[in-house]
A and B are shown apart, each in its own frame.
Chain A
Amino acid sequence: NFMLTQPHSVSDSPGKTVTISCTRSSGSIASNSVHWYQQRPGSSPTTLIFENNRRPSGVPDRFSGSIDYSSNSASLTISGLKAEDEADYYCQSYDGSRVFGGGTKLTVL
């Protein structure tokens, strides 16, 4: 089994670009897809990125996902930050079970 580690919080100003990392504790990050969810305050999660870098219809291209094999991590990048992006973000993968990262709180200053 492995764990997914995310930073507890990140913040930046409107219009900036922010990146949230998701580091896999053991095994290769490439072994299983990584998916990302957004959870705005008081709301249920929504799917933001699936299969590492694919966006569901309706998700703006300001959101992108990537894999960094050297750091064994996945990343969610949000460009052109907006106030509405303020939310919790979770990565998720699979180790025979569904595994979530601990979540990252994004604050738009």
Chain B
Amino acid sequence: QVQLVESGGGVVRPGGSLRLSCSASGFIFSDYGIHWVRQAPGKGLQWVAFIRFDGHNRYFADSVRGRVTISRDNSKSTVYLQLNSVTAEDTAMYYCARDPSPNWGDYYFDYWGQGTLVTVSS
């Protein structure tokens, strides 16, 4: 069965950086695009970033563009999200989610991971 497992969350100081990982199994990883979606405590869902099946195209939400990078290693079935210059507004549960398509477009999220919590605090 499809599984997405996030890791790398924790407490990070304002202005700091951290890298989140999303490890996938149960499907042909290199056939699918992968997203990151976050949820601040008690708040709704916010799309963050997307990487195409081959890693050649990336898309970012305006709120994080310039501070976030997304990459993937298809040999390891893993997607990474690097957050830089974090602020309190980046405090959230970060979910990776699979796209049913390999490419960017008018699609949805068909499978979700369990999330990893990022807390920005001094």
Contact = CB atoms under 8 A, between A and B. Distances in A.
B114 interface: yes
B112 A90 contact: no
Size class of A's contact patch?
Answer: 20 to 34
Interface in A52-95: 56, 90, 92, 94
Q: Tell me whether chain B's interface is mostly helix, strand or loop, or mixed.
A: loop
Nearest to A35: B108
Size class of B's contact patch?
Answer: 20 to 34
Contacts of A33: 106-108
Interface of A: 32-33, 35, 37, 39, 43-47, 50-51, 56, 90, 92, 94, 97-103
B94 to A, nearest CB: 11
Contacts of B11: none
